């Protein structure tokens, strides 16, 4: 996210005869902008202090860590590093891994892998018989949990945390983070767990840079389309709220359990934007913040798939656009064919200008930059807007949102007890 050149700081003046020791660290910016508070990474790591305070606060406000994962994620190299780091974490009470499609043997293998962790560990076997019975029951009662995916897995994990009743805070991060450090988790949890700060929701952000800039969907799609919508629809609090986040598609966040009760969850690729829309709807922006959790962040990269809108970044962009349009429609914005044609033209102009900005950013930092590749991504995302617009015009009420847990509890009395029993029996 940018930073000043390395500066040298003398920790204390040396006494006569003492050896002079310098300590160097990179100083980030501390600029505040937008509707929400930004908590920066300022100076050297202070992990020991953070963890000491978190251990104290978590005695009163216990924390559950939710890890949505595919079996391939758990078996990957990144997860090995995550497990090693989590073995050192003392402020997490419950760890819930929401496992995507997996056989019974794969479920038992994952269970064995995580049994070495010191926290109370539960694996949610989403494709197991017991959980499938619950999904079937929910569908029959008119509160369907939607299709299989990260959103549904996370939602079911929240339900288990509510049913367990042991924790007041939920943190979530992905399981494909290369170079994971437990400092990421500490910084993510701290703003919500510290009672003096009184935040209900905290979103992580970070730079995604290797020898080139990554994060194409955020850089070249989400930010330009949000700003294009602001130009056409005029100033709108939700769009300003969304534009305040440095990395709105980050999968890492921390929240109070009450948010898990009242938030609906998109089950498709619109998960992160849909989640922010629900936070905006249910809580004051004064209780929302974002925190710099890592100097750099690397995980698996999705292909653009420009010719196939059913997969890759194209699918992601389409689902995000549909989520944006539905949220704005619920806020009273009227869409028509002329609006969407103007949006496409405005987005394209802003996105092309954005490419020029990032070309300069890459140049001064000595990074590889393929302008043609960036332009191809923008072309694909422009097509994604058109596809999403056609879908909204044909069926504006289609909303892939899983009902919030308060509604589910009302519709299916005893569902939490049944869910808790199913997960506990799976984990015996």
**Tokens encoding 197:** 């700060």
Given the DSSP bridges, would you call strands 169-172 and 265-266 parallel, antiparallel or unpaired? Answer: unpaired
Average pLDDT over residues 156-181: 95
| pLDDT at site 12 | 38
146 lies in a domain? yes
Residue 276, strand partner residues: none
| pLDDT at site 270 | 79
Sign, Cα dihedral of 286, 292, 298, 303: positive
As for how many domains the chain has, the answer is: 1
The span from the CA of 353 to the CA of 224, in Å, is 9
Contact 352, 378 (CB under 8 A): yes
Given the DSSP bridges, would you call strands 94-99 and 63-69 parallel, antiparallel or unpaired? Answer: parallel
Q: What is the CATH number of the domain that holds 390?
A: 3.90.550.10
**Which regions of 279-378 does DSSP assign to beta strands (E)?**
288-294
Per-residue pLDDT tens digits for 267-297: 777 789 989 999 999 999 999 999 999 876 6
At residue 142, the 3 state secondary structure works out as coil
Contacts of 301 (CB under 8 A, 6+ apart): 214
pLDDT band, residue 138 (cuts 50/70/90): very high
Residue 113, strand partner residues: none
**Higher-scoring residue by pLDDT: 162, 307:** 162
410 lies in a domain? yes
In the predicted model, is pLDDT for residue 10 greater than 70? no
Contacts of 146 (CB under 8 A, 6+ apart): 152, 267, 268, 400, 401, 402
21 lies in a domain? no
370 lies in a domain? yes
In the predicted model, is pLDDT for residue 2 greater than 60? no
% pLDDT > 90, the chain? 73
The span from the CA of 344 to the CA of 317, in Å, is 14
246 lies in a domain? yes
7 lies in a domain? no
Tracing tokens 């000043």 back to the chain, one arrives at 4
**Which regions of 100-226 does DSSP assign to beta strands (E)?**
120-125, 169-172, 201-206
In the predicted model, is pLDDT for residue 6 greater than 90? no
Mean pLDDT of the chain: 89
Per-residue pLDDT tens digits for 390-406: 998 988 766 668 999 99
In the predicted model, is pLDDT for residue 201 greater than 90? yes
363 lies in a domain? yes
**CA 144 vs CA 10, 63, 68, 175, 279: distances in Å:** 60, 28, 19, 26, 21
Average pLDDT over residues 363-379: 95
| pLDDT at site 28 | 57
Dihedral, CA of residue 317, residue 286, residue 26 and residue 48, to nearest 10: -110
Widest Cα–Cα separation across the chain: 80
CB-based burial label for 49 (10 Å; 0-12, 13-18, 19+): exposed
326 lies in a domain? yes
User: What count of residues does the chain have?
Assistant: 428
**Domain interval for residue 286:** 37-426
Average pLDDT over residues 363-382: 95
Q: Specify the pTM.
A: 0.89
pLDDT band, residue 25 (cuts 50/70/90): very low
């Amino acid at each position: 996210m940018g930073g000043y050149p390395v500066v040298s700081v003398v920790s204390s003046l040396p006494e006569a005869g003492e050896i002079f020791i310098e300590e160097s660290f990179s100083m980030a910016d501390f600029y505040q902008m937008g509707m929400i508070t930004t908590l920066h990474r300022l100076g050297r790591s202070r992990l020991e202090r953070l963890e000491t305070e978190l251990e104290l606060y978590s005695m009163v406000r216990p924390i559950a860590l939710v890890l949505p994962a595919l079996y391939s994620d758990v078996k990957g190299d990144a997860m090995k590093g995550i497990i090693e780091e989590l073995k050192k974490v003392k402020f997490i009470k419950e760890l819930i891994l929401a496992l995507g499609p997996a056989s019974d043997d794969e479920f038992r293998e994952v269970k064995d892998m995580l049994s070495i962790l010191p926290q109370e560990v539960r694996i949610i076997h989403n494709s197991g018989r017991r959980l499938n019975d619950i999904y079937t029951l929910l569908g029959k009662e008119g509160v369907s949990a939607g299709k299989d995916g990260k959103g549904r897995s996370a939602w079911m994990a929240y339900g288990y945390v509510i049913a367990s009743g042991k924790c007041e805070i939920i943190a979530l991060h992905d399981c494909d983070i290369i170079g994971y450090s437990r400092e990421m988790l500490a910084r993510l949890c701290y703003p919500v767990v510290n009672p003096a700060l009184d935040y209900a929701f905290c979103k992580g952000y970070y730079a995604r840079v290797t020898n080139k800039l990554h994060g194409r969907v955020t850089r070249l799609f989400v930010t330009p389309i949000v700003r294009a919508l602001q130009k056409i629809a005029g100033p709108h609090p939700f769009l300003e709220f969304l534009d305040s986040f440095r990395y709105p598609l980050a999968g890492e966040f921390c929240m109070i359990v009450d948010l898990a009760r009242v938030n609906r969850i998109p089950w498709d690729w619109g998960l992160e934007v849909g989640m922010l829309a629900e936070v905006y709807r249910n809580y004051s922006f004064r209780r929302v913040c974002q925190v710099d959790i890592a100097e750099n962040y690397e995980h698996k990269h999705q292909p653009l798939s420009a010719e196939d809108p059913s997969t890759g970044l194209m699918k992601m962009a389409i689902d995000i656009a549909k989520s944006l349009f539905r949220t704005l429609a619920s806020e009273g914005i009227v869409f028509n064919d002329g609006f969407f044609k103007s949006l496409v033209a405005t987005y394209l102009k802003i996105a092309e200008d954005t490419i020029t900005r990032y070309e300069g950013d890459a140049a001064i930092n000595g990074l590889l930059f393929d302008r043609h590749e960036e332009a191809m991504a923008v072309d694909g995302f422009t097509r994604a807007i058109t596809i999403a617009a056609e879908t909204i015009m044909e069926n504006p009420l289609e909303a892939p949102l899983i009902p919030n847990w308060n509604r589910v509890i009302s519709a299916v009395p005893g569902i939490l007890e049944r869910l808790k029993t199913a997960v506990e029996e799976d984990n015996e």
